[in-house]
Structure 1
Amino acid sequence: MKKTFYVIASIAIVAGAYLWAFGVPDAFAPGVGSEAPVSQAPAGPGGPGGPGGGGATTVVLAPLEMQPFEDSFRAIGNSEAVRSATVTSDVSGRTVSVDLTANAEVSQGDVLVRLDARAATLSLETAQSELEQASATVARYERLQQSGNSTITDVTLSEARLALRLAEANVGQAELALEDRTIRAPISGRLGLSDVNVGDYLTANDPIITIDDSSALLVEFELPERSVGFLSLGRDVTLETPSLTGRFFQGEIVSFDSRIDEVTRSVTVRARVANPDGTLWPGMTFTARLSNLSEPLLVVPATAITWSRDGASVWYEDEGHAQSIPVTILHRRDENVWLDADLPAGTMVIIEGAHKLRQGAAVTDANAEPQQPDQESK
C-alpha cells in the first residue's frame, strides 16, 4: 500500500511540474473544437505598407542637411623658452665680482661674473712685449738689407718675420685668456637662480646660471598617427594652461617629427606661442587642440542608417514612396553621421520607422499636419 502511494505521488509531482512549465495542452483547453473566425490581413502587394497596399506606413521624415565636420585632436604638452642658455665658465678661477640678480632682464654681452685676472693680465703684457721686440727686429733687418748689408741674408729676415707672427699669435691667445676671465650673457633674457657668490672658486664647465628668452614659448606635445594628414607648418593651434584658467592662447606649428614613434604610434609636434607680456612661463603644462574643419558634408541622425549584407544605406521619401540608397559613412559624432551619398541636400530622409519598409512602400510623415476633410454643402 505504501509503495502504491509513492507511485501516485511521483506521478502527481511530474504532472504538476509539466503544467507549471508548459501550461495546459490545447487538447484539454476549454473551447477546443469550436471554430473561431480569424481575421487575416491581406498579404502581398495589397497589404499594409506595400506598393499598392491599402494603407501607408507611418514614418518620421527629416530633411537631409549639409554641415562641415570638425575633427579635433587634444594633447598635453610642456613648454620651454624659445631660447635658453646655461651659463658656464670656460676656465677656472676665483670670482671677484658677481651680478646675478634672479629674474633680472639682461642683454646679450652684459657682464655677469668676473674672475681673478691678474695672471692673465701679466701673460698679456709679456706677450705684447715679445711682440714689440719681434716687430722691431724685423724692421731693423729690413732696413739693413735695403742698405746693402750683406750680413742680413734672406734666411735671417725670414726667421725674424716668423718670430713676429708667433709673437702676434701669443698676444691673441693672451687676450683670449684674459677675456675668458669675464663671463658675459650669451643671449638676452631673464636670469634664473644662482648660488655663485664673490670669493667662490669656479672650475671649467661649472654651471653658473640659466637665462631664458621668454618672449615666446615652444610647446611640445604628441598627436596620434591619424593626425599626420592635418600637420603643416604655420597651422594654428589653440593652447590653454591650468595655471591661467579660462584663457586661451593661439600658437602655430613650427616643427614636427619626420617619423611615427614605434612604441606610442604618435608624432612629436612643436608649436610656438607669443608671450610679449611675459604672462606665460617656461615649464608650464599646456593642453593643445588642433582642429580641422572639412567642407560641408551630408549629415543625418544615426537612426536613419540601416544595415544589410550590402552595407549601410538610408531610406528617403520620393513622391510618397520609400526608396533605399547605399551610403558611405565618413564620420560619426554623438547622434549624427556624416556620409557620402548620391542625394541632394533637402531630400526628406526617413529617420524613424525604416526597419519596417520595403522598396516602393507608401509612407506618410508622422509629424505632418492632418488634412481637414472638405465640408460638403448641405
Structure 2
Amino acid sequence: MIYRPLILTMIFLTSGQVLSQPSSTPVFVAEVKRVEWVEPIEALGTLQADENVIITSTVTEKVTRINFEDGDRVTTGDLLLEMDASEEQALLSEERSRLSEAELQIRRLNPLIAKGSASESALDEQVLKKQTAQARMEAIQAQIRQRRILAPFDGIIGQRNISVGALVQPGTVVTTIDDDLTMKLDFSVPARFLSLLTPHSEVTGTTAAWPNEVFRGSLSSVNSRIDPVTRSISVRAILPNPDQKLRPGQLMRVRLLPPPRSALVIPEEALMSRGRQEFVRRITTKDKRTVATQVAVTIGARLQGDVEILAGLAEGDQVITHGNIRLRPGAVVEVKAVQADDNQLVDLLAQPRSEELTP
C-alpha cells in the first residue's frame, strides 16, 4: 500500500514525456534546379606527330655524305643523305651521248628526205634511238634520285643510325622525321558517349612530364567502327605544340568537354538507394502540414556532388538533403534551411532557425 502511489506517479510522468515529444522532424532541403550540364569524358591517350615517317634506304649502296645531325630541324626538300651514284652517273653520260647522236642524225636526214635522197625508214630508226635514249636517261635519273634522300616535310630529325661509308640495304633505318608543331592525341572512350562526340569539342590534356601545364586542343575525328570486344570507340584530337614540349609516344590524361545540355540536378546527399531503386524525399503540403513524400527517381550522370535527374522530379521541387535518417514517408517535417549551391552541413547548422528568419 505504501508503494502504489509512487508507481502511479512514475507512470504519469512517463506518459507526460510521450505527450511532450515534438510533432515534426527538422530537416534541411534543396531545390531541384535546371542547369547547363557538361559531363566531361576522361581517358588516357597516346601522342603522335601530325606527320611522321621512318627514313629508310630503298637500294643497296654505300653512304657517301650525311647532311644532318640528331635533333636538326629540316624543311621539305632538304638533302639528308647521299649514296654512291658514280656508276649511274656514267650510264647517264653514255645515254646522253646516244641521245645527242640520234638528234644529230635526225637533223641531217630531214633535208635529205625533203630532196628524196634518204628514206623515211632511216629517219624512223633514228627517232626510235632518240626515244630509247630518253627513256633510259629517265630510268637512270630515277636510280640516282633513289641514292639521294630528301626531307619529305618540315619537321625534326630523330637519332642518326648510320655513318658515312656504311653499306645500306633496302629497309635499313636511317633516321626518323616528326612534324611536332601539331600533335595527334588518340584515345578510346566508351561507346555510350558516342552522341556527345561532336567535331571541334574542346579537349584538354595533362602529362607527367609537365605536371603544372594544361594542353588544349579540339576533337578532330571519330572512328567509323566500335570495338566489339571493349565496346569502345577510338577518338582523335589535335593539339597545337608550338613550344615542342610534347613528344610522340607520350602518355596523356585526356579530358573531353562536350557541348553543354540542359539538365535537372539535385545534391547527391539527397539521393537514397534500396537495391537497384533510387528515391528521394520530396517536400509536399498535406492538410496545411509540411510532409516528406518518398518519390522514385531515374538518375543520369554524377558530377562534383550533383546528380542528374532524368525522371521523377520537376524543376522547383524541394528534396530533403539532411534529416532522412529514421524519417518515414509521410512524416511531418519542419524545414530549417534551404541548401544553396555551395552550402555545407556546417553552414546549414549555423543558419538561424526558421522562427528566427521570420520578421
TM-score range, shorter chain: 0.7 to 0.9
Structure 1 position 365 matched with structure 2 position 335:
yes
In the alignment, what sits opposite 1:208? 174
Amino acid at match of 1:369: R
* Counterpart contact for 2:29–2:335, Cα < 8 Å: no
Q: Which has the higher strand share?
A: 2
* Counterpart contact for 1:61–1:348, Cα < 8 Å: no
Larger radius of gyration, structure 1 or 2?
1
The 1-side partners of 2:354 and 2:137 are apart by 106
In the alignment, what sits opposite 1:303? 270
**Shift of residue 99 of structure 1?**
1.7
Residue 280 to residue 310, structure 1, CA distance change in 2 (3 Å):
closer
In the alignment, what sits opposite 1:182? 148
The 1-side partners of 2:276 and 2:251 are apart by 49
Structure 1 position 97 matched with structure 2 position 65:
yes
- TM-score by structure 2 length? 0.78
* Counterpart contact for 2:263–2:308, Cα < 8 Å: no
The superposition leaves residues 250-307 of structure 1 with CA deviations (integer Å, 9 ceiling, x where unpaired) of 0222222222212222212222111112122222211111234432423144435576
Residue 350 to residue 116, structure 1, CA distance change in 2 (3 Å):
closer
The 1-side partners of 2:58 and 2:325 are apart by 80
The superposition leaves residues 120-158 of structure 1 with CA deviations (integer Å, 9 ceiling, x where unpaired) of 111111111111122222333332222233x403x4433
The 1-side partners of 2:187 and 2:271 are apart by 39
Write out aligned runs for 1:215-234 (5 A): 215-234=181-200
Structure 1 position 322 matched with structure 2 position 306:
no
Moved more, 92-101 or 312-321: 312-321
The 2-side partners of 1:260 and 1:161 are apart by 60
SS at match of 2:225: coil
Moved more, 331-340 or 286-295: 331-340
The 2-side partners of 1:173 and 1:39 are apart by 117
The 1-side partners of 2:204 and 2:276 are apart by 43
Structure 1 position 196 matched with structure 2 position 162:
yes
**Shift of residue 60 of structure 1?**
0.9
Residue 69 to residue 103, structure 1, CA distance change in 2 (3 Å):
same
**Shift of residue 215 of structure 1?**
0.6
In structure 1, list runs of 5 or more residues that go unmatched.
Answer: 1-30, 42-47, 49-53, 373-378
In the alignment, what sits opposite 2:107? 139
* Counterpart contact for 2:202–2:216, Cα < 8 Å: yes
The 2-side partners of 1:310 and 1:192 are apart by 58
The 2-side partners of 1:194 and 1:118 are apart by 24
* Counterpart contact for 2:292–2:333, Cα < 8 Å: no
The 1-side partners of 2:63 and 2:336 are apart by 90
List, as ranges, runs of 4+ consecutive aligned residues in structure 1 with deviation greater than 6 Å.
34-41, 306-311
In structure 2, list runs of 5 or more residues that go unmatched.
Answer: 338-351
* Counterpart contact for 2:39–2:301, Cα < 8 Å: no
In the alignment, what sits opposite 1:110? 78
The 2-side partners of 1:344 and 1:264 are apart by 37
Amino acid at match of 1:174: I
Write out aligned runs for 1:249-288 (5 A): 249-288=215-254
Structure 1 position 240 matched with structure 2 position 206:
yes
In the alignment, what sits opposite 1:331? 301
Structure 1 position 124 matched with structure 2 position 124:
no
The 2-side partners of 1:113 and 1:358 are apart by 83
Amino acid at match of 2:201: R
The 1-side partners of 2:188 and 2:299 are apart by 28
SS at match of 1:258: strand
The superposition leaves residues 288-345 of structure 1 with CA deviations (integer Å, 9 ceiling, x where unpaired) of 1123443242314443557699974542133533263554323345754321445332
In the alignment, what sits opposite 2:53? 85
In the alignment, what sits opposite 2:346? none
The 2-side partners of 1:278 and 1:216 are apart by 9
Residue 69 to residue 104, structure 1, CA distance change in 2 (3 Å):
same
The 2-side partners of 1:370 and 1:323 are apart by 17
Residue 156 to residue 230, structure 1, CA distance change in 2 (3 Å):
same
The 2-side partners of 1:311 and 1:190 are apart by 56
Amino acid at match of 1:108: T
Amino acid at match of 2:93: E
Moved more, 330-339 or 264-273: 330-339
